Amino acid sequence: NTTPGKWLIRARTQFARVLIESTDDSINDIAFKSGFKNTAHFVKVFKDFYGMPPLQYRLRRASVAQGGRLIGV
CA dist 11 and 53 (Å) reads: 17
What was the pLDDT predicted at 48?
97
> For the CA atoms of the chain, what is the radius of gyration?
13
Give the tens place of pLDDT for each residue, 15-70: 999 999 999 999 999 999 999 999 999 999 999 999 999 999 999 988 877 776 65
Phi, psi values for residue 8, rounded to 5°: -65, -45
Q: Is the pLDDT of residue 71 over 60?
A: no
Closest among 27, 53, 57, 47 to 39, alpha carbons compared: 27
What was the pLDDT predicted at 72?
53
CA dist 48 and 71 (Å) reads: 22
What was the pLDDT predicted at 62?
85
